[in-house]
Amino acid sequence: MPTPTPTYSLAQCDAINWLEGLASESVDLLITDPPYESLEKHRAVGTTTRLSKSKGSSNPWFAIFPNSRFPQLMEQAFRVLKKNSHFYLFCDSETMFVAKPLGEAAGFKFWKPLVWDKVSIGMGYHYRSRYEVVLFFEKGKRRLRSLSVPDVLAFPRVRGGYPAEKPIELLRVLIEQSSSEGDLVADPFMGAGSTLVAAALTGRHSAGVDINPEALRVAEARLAVTNARPYGRNIG
């Protein structure tokens, strides 16, 4: 039986408000990367400028997602995911200690932090950062597609792209490990839409949202060159 053409939906909205509007148990896989609060610490001491378009931290590219909203995010993520599904949350080593217990409190089983090795060093003052953490949560029980994939995933960081853009190859690993063709993959902090592009390239449907209209324009342009077709659009 031929695989149906993948579809995607884009929206400009607050992530939690968007999740609240989704039906319960309607998503097969959730992958996302909130602009975590600890970024402000790096900005304050000057150890990162790569997320700024202006001198102020309240730049138009990233409205920080405060730690105080993580309980709502975890609650809604658990609600919208189908039974026997996975949730991957990108964060740094500081935010991990905030997000992990809140995910468990919402009902997820926490398996382990995966490590994204970016191959080259990035922001930091001493012991410069070369990795990012991907928290691996499970709702119910779902077997990974392959048990031979390591918990350290080495893919070069994206240079010259949208701020904090994730490599397509990295996201393909997570998507192929935790979903099947024709499944729905969602990303409530989609940024440049890398999760949606990876979903399209692997035959999955996708839905993404970002509060920044520039992110939606970038994501739409990237998805336009895949074989996916839009089924919903709300470009600001």
Q: Between helices 70-80 and 96-106, what is the axis angle to 10°? A: 50
State yes or no: pLDDT of 58 exceeds 50: no
Phi, psi of 114 (to 5 degrees): -85, 155
Q: pLDDT-based confidence at 57, cuts 50/70/90?
A: very low
**Burial letters 27-65, b for 16+ CB under 10 A, else e:** bbbbbbbbbbbbbeebbeeeebeebbeeeeeeeebbebb
The span from the CA of 180 to the CA of 49, in Å, is 38
For 140-182, write each residue's pLDDT tens digit: 999 999 999 999 999 999 988 888 899 999 999 999 999 999 9
213 or 50, which is more confident? Answer: 213
Checking if the pLDDT of 233 tops 80, the result is: no
pLDDT the model gives residue 50: 46
Question: Hey, what are 32's tokens?
Answer: 């996302």
- Residue 170: name the closest of 146, 153, 187 by CA: 153
CATH T-level topology, domain 7-232: Rossmann fold (3.40.50)
Q: Over the stretch 78-134, which tens digit does the pLDDT of each residue have? A: 999 999 999 999 999 999 999 999 999 999 999 999 999 999 887 666 788 899 999
CA 7/CA 204 separation, integer angstroms: 8
